[in-house]
């Protein structure tokens, strides 16, 4: 499952997002599998993630995204991405 939302500044502060590491990736496509839940906050970029046997989910700058443990998918980065991320 992929959950996308536009978080409030209050929620970002509560999650302490700015303490999380940052990940960056250029325009690319690759398969991915989540062995634990990942929460991320998109700082830059535009991405389409398509779960195996599922519908594409589009997200970008300003979105808070949660990927469920066990999710198998394909990432398609349309505009270079920069995000805060946290596993678990």
Predicted confidence at residue 14, as pLDDT, reads 97
Name the β-bridge partners of 57: 49
Predicted confidence at residue 28, as pLDDT, reads 98
Handedness of CA 34, 40, 45, 50 (dihedral sign): positive
The strand pair at 64-67 and 22-25 is best described as: unpaired
pTM above 0.85, yes or no: yes
> Looking at domain 2-87, does it have CATH number 3.40.50.800?
no
What does the block give as tokens for 72? 């198998």
Distance, CA of 40 to CA of 52 (rounded, Å): 20
Question: Mean pLDDT in runs of 10 for the chain (88 residues)?
Answer: 97 98 98 98 98 97 98 98 97
**Residue-range domain boundaries for the chain:** 2-87
Distance of CA 7 to the CA centre of its chain: 13
The strand pair at 2-5 and 28-33 is best described as: unpaired
């Amino acid at each position: 499952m992929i959950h996308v939302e536009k978080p409030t500044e209050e929620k970002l502060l509560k999650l302490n997002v700015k303490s999380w590491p940052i990940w960056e990736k250029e325009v690319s496509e690759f398969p991915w599998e989540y062995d634990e839940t990942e929460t991320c906050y998109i700082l830059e970029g535009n991405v389409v993630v398509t779960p195996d046997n599922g519908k594409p989910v589009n997200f970008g700058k300003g979105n808070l995204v949660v990927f469920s443990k066990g999710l198998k998918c394909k990432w398609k980065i349309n505009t270079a991405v920069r995000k805060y991320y946290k596993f678990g």
